[in-house]
Amino acid sequence: MHELEVHYRELMAPKVQADSGSMTNQESLESYLNGNKKQLDFTWEVKANDRAYHKQFKKRVAFCLTRKKYEDNTIKTAKYNALTFLPLNLYEQFHRLANLYFLFVILLQTVPEISTLPWFTLLLPLSCLLLLRGLRDLIDDIARHRSDWMINNRPCEILIGKSFSWKKWRDICVGDIICLRKDSFVPADLLLLSSSEPSSLCYVETADIDGETNLKFRQALLATHQELVSEASMAAFDGKVTCEEPNSRMHSFIGTLEWRGEKYSLDTEKILLRGCRIRNTETCYGLVIYAGLDSKIMKNCGKIKMKKTKLDRLMDRLVILIFVMLVITSFCLAFAAGFWAVKFQVEHSYLSSLYVGTSPAEQAFFTFWGFMILLSIIIPMSMYITFEFVYMVNSYFIDWDLEMYYPAKDMPAKARSTSLNDQLGQIEYIFSDKTGTLTQNIMTFKKCCINGIIYGTSDQYGALRKKASMSWNPYVDRTAEFHDPALLETVLQNDDPVVREFLRLLALCHTVMVEEKDTGQLVYQAASPDEEALVTAARNLGYVFLSRTQDTITLSELGMERTYGMLAMLDFNSVRKRMSILVRDPEGKIRLYTKGADMVILERLREDGSATAFTQLALDSFAEETLRTLCLASKEVKEKDYAEWSKKHHEASVLLQNRAQELDKVYEEMEQDLQLLGATAIEDKLQDGVPETIQLLKKGNIKVWVLTGDKQETAVNIGFACRLLTDDMQILEEKEICEMLEACWVSNNNLASSGERLCQFQQHSGVLHQGKMALVVTGDILEKVLGTGEKVKRKEGFWARLACCKAQTQPVADSSVEKAFVDLATGCQAVICCRVTPKQKALVVQLVKRHRSAITLAIGDGANDVNMIKTADIGVGISGQEGMQAVQCSDYALAQFRYLQRLLLVHGRWSYLRICKFLRYFFYKTFAGMMVQIWFAFYSGFTAQPLYEGWFLALYNVFYTAYPVLCMGLMEQDVSAEKSLQLPELYKVGQKDELFNYRVFCVTFLHGTVTSLGSFYIALWAFEDRVGSRVVGDYQSFAVTVATSAFLSVVAEIIMDIKFWTILTFLTIAGSLIFFCLFSFLTQNFPAFREAPTIFRFLDASQNALTDPYVLAIVLLCVVVNTIPSLTIRLLRVITGTGTIQDKISSRDLRVAESTVELKSHFRRGSLHRRSSYAFSHKEGYADLIARGASLRVKDSRSRGPVNAGSYQSIPLPTREGAASSPSVFLKECN
């Protein structure tokens, strides 16, 4: 134990020094990234088993208000509660200017002197509108409350007194010690104290945090590992942790533990984050450092924001514009009313008694407010109520779409927000997670090349033949897909030494742990899915990894058990890009087995033979199929060479400074003169339809950015696999990005006073303007760009400005460097951001929104994507393997990424089309019908007297013209769903705001004004000197004639504008005509007049007017004249070739076949500059754990059942020099 402790301290000491030494630069940079412009204070103190200590601390919130400093573990993601729902929801709703406008008009209606309608007639529809939106928000928030309740009530074991008790997550407090079992979720950010594993290791899966399912390990301090071995010792633990305040940095933690007069350094390797899942560890214990909303994952979640669409914001501005026009018009008419009153009093003095007590100024004042109320219906409240209904039904169309139903999970698409549908048709940038969103995170061994021969291409054998052929292997994993009869035959013949060495390498060179269930079944637990796929492939071919100890690895080779002595394991890291193992085989020979990226293996080979050339061709072929490749090589090591190397290795491993660099040099010395065995090809399985979806989205001018926490090589490989990256693209990486940003900054710094656009990246690259450039950027670069841009007048070095810890000036967010980065990134066809934190994902989205004013969509499936989903204009959650956190915070939920193409190109484009036509037509019919009131004012003495009957004003937007426009908002289509997917270029219309903008609004306003002029003045001209046979020439008949002309003109316009006719369309148009006739009869008959003559004033007005042939001729003339402009414009469009989408499509060749895109390699065959995506995805450090035996659980005997017992032989156990023999060790799971 003493030797282990010394070795442990030697290993940990330099790491602590390195962490503390690199703290200054990194902390200040990350501090600014998270909004803290001053250096972080290490003032967070946690005392174990002392709740009273933490309750005494308070922090000031605002003014004299304080709250407790240390949060409990209750989380609250909902926006409202019982007390705040009504005021907060009303506050949010009255952020809509239209609601404020309606409230203003209602207040005007309460003044009797200027009121033209009862105040409650406007209050009722506004209340309905607020109620509908409030209920929608309430339903969404209730779902959040339910989710919070389920999470807060999960069970956990908390140390209460001197024993552990089962409590709820919400009962956890800072300073508590909790016990976690295998496969349980971590409820808060914990300091790992001890575990049931050797050396208090704890294996965790971070799928809910960074999307990766590969295992990561955490290790407790040696002091707590040795001392905290019982409940009594846990209860007596009184250590004090001092660390940084709660923050959102997922990969950073710095603190110290003070206990028994000693101080111990703490880092991220000793912290279990909330949301992690315990794996391969029976029991572990942790001290709560951050709880609830203070935990790092919750700090990354961001706040729920009220999202408004682009059309919503445009409508707010149009309401202001219309209101200003209304005020100006009312003022002009009131001014005219004052002059008219003066003139009237002078010319008609005998009526002066009517004006006693009122001056012309007073009359003008009251007339102004009268016109304000009369013309207020130009912004109809019914439009907003109908608006909400159209949104809601279009959301149901998404829910009901069977093409987006995923039967494997019985999950349909779900529109969780009902107010963003039109914005789905305007997306310009998509920000996508990788793991679980684009990929299934399933690695499959697909092909291999051994000694120049490619295996894995044969698929001519059926499942029955496959099953029968593998019956000789009791350890076979029948879920594996790889099967090649030719390779299997070669393996069974056992006469090819290269094949033997190839499979032996797969079974030996790895960090996989093995569990054996009671049934004798072997279960591999790998730090990365790549390694598991390789070891499983060897297992299915008869080379089975059985168990390992600190010094040995035991295999079953074609039924014969062989034990290899492990002399050294040369660990993988991202610089070496390879991993090696030195073993002594049962015959006593020492062999080195190495696997790694093709570039690093091929340059270390002994010679270039024919097998090497064929292997390079195979690697080219694998790369074309976007498979993850590894090269495999080995060599025999002489005893003398090993003895010398072992001495150097030992000397390097005990260094206190530069240990890693010296070890790399020693490893490099051994990994030379290798003999190439072959190559493997692993497929990182994409979700179905991902490449096709991305291709369609790119054709629709939608740029896709991938934001992932994974390694750069893995992310780039997936980019090629899903066709986000193509072979003719120039890929910019860190070096090129830095150079281009520096050049741009220098240009801006030197020419800032010129006022010109300074930085043009096209000057730096000849391919950017051709759209053939892709950007691959890491989290480190983003950290600099997002966090430290400065505008400094004095000239400094570019990266000196980025290093904010050395800068003398305060950083500002909107920097020239930040702007330059956005210009560069948005000029590229594809962007991949790797090794990014959840916070950085959200910052990237904010960056594009701020500098490009673009509509963004974020899609992900894990808790690490929640902040990004909340930040984007549209958030889409994938119901993946990482839980439902992303779905719960999303606006739309899908089961697969491929459904995004239908959501955007079909439903999104249709919704945008429908909403735009709905708004355009609603404004048109309102202007066409209501602008008549202004023209009538010139003939009524500017008295604000309504032209129309009151019931016509009330029913015009509710019954007469509402249903055709409602049908258009629900059912309109320009092309079918199939054509929308075949022609994704049609999507660009929404991105350019072509269907509804200021220009379209002005044209609609002019069109409605012209229609109102035609309806009014044609009728006025006809009624001036002539009357009909029934003496139709009175005010009421004139009002009915104008109203009927305007109504029929509006109906005719919508008939011409509808492109997609259904039974519902016919019914709504017919219903509008029927309602007009029906309500005209009901409001103008004698019984109604007799009951309420002041309300039903137009007695038989329609019957008298519309039965006169002369009046009917006037109405017909008005309709014809009003429709001539629309018909003329449509004719000109057809003649000039700028017609509708249907016209454009009919002139195109619609033979859009499914074109299979052949992915070709963009590197020269045989070149060492091959795009290499090597199949490693585990972190550095596992090899050291295995070599020290820290991850191995000792068991005295094995219970594995006999397998070909007759073929087993007893083999002497070789060990490394000076080491005692260890018993056979493996992990066993008790079911």
Torsion of the alpha carbons at 504, 596, 207 and 11, rounded to the nearest 10: 90
Q: Which residues pair with 279 in a beta bridge?
A: 203
Tokens (6 digits) for 1002: 């002005």
- In contact, 892 and 875? CB cutoff 8 Å: yes
Contacts 24+ apart (CB under 8 A), 302-307: 302/842, 302/866, 302/867, 302/870, 302/871, 303/870, 304/77, 304/79, 304/870, 304/889, 305/870, 305/871, 306/92, 306/95, 307/417, 307/419, 307/420, 307/873, 307/874, 307/891
Query: Which residue in 1069, 1098, 696 sits closest to 901, CA to CA?
Result: 696
- In contact, 915 and 421? CB cutoff 8 Å: yes
- In contact, 869 and 664? CB cutoff 8 Å: no
Q: Residue 853 — left, alpha, or beta (φ > 0 → left; ψ -120 to 50 → alpha)?
A: left
Q: Report the b/e string of 297-309 with b at 16+ CB within 10 A.
A: bbbbbbeeeebbb
Query: Which residue in 1104, 1071, 1107 sits closest to 1086, CA to CA?
Result: 1104
Residue written as token pair 């967070």 = 44
Query: Which residue in 1194, 1227, 1188 sits closest to 182, CA to CA?
Result: 1227
Instruction: Determine whether 433 is an active site residue.
Output: yes
Tokens (6 digits) for 1172: 């290499």
Burial class (CB in 10 A: 0-12, 13-18, 19+), 696: buried
Residue 137 has a CB neighbour count (10 Å cut-off) of 19
Residue 1046 to residue 1026: CA distance in whole angstroms? 21
The residue type at 662: E
- In contact, 15 and 221? CB cutoff 8 Å: no
Query: Positive or negative CA dihedral for 526, 529, 534, 536?
Result: positive
Residue 1144 to residue 1133: CA distance in whole angstroms? 11
Residue 998 has a CB neighbour count (10 Å cut-off) of 12
Residue 1064 to residue 1070: CA distance in whole angstroms? 10
Burial class (CB in 10 A: 0-12, 13-18, 19+), 853: exposed
Residue 775 to residue 734: CA distance in whole angstroms? 9
From the candidates 171, 433, 484, 873, give the one annotated as an active-site residue. 433
The residue type at 707: L
- In contact, 558 and 505? CB cutoff 8 Å: no
Phi, psi (deg, nearest 5) at residue 998: -60, -40
Residue 604 to residue 583: CA distance in whole angstroms? 20
Residue 377 to residue 381: CA distance in whole angstroms? 8
Cβ neighbours for 745, distance < 8 A, ≥ 6 positions apart: 798, 801, 816, 817, 820
Query: Positive or negative CA dihedral for 588, 589, 590, 591?
Result: negative
- In contact, 712 and 813? CB cutoff 8 Å: no
Query: Which residue in 129, 128, 110 sits closest to 118, CA to CA?
Result: 110
Burial class (CB in 10 A: 0-12, 13-18, 19+), 646: middle
Residue 386 to residue 1047: CA distance in whole angstroms? 19
The residue type at 557: E
Catalytic positions: 433
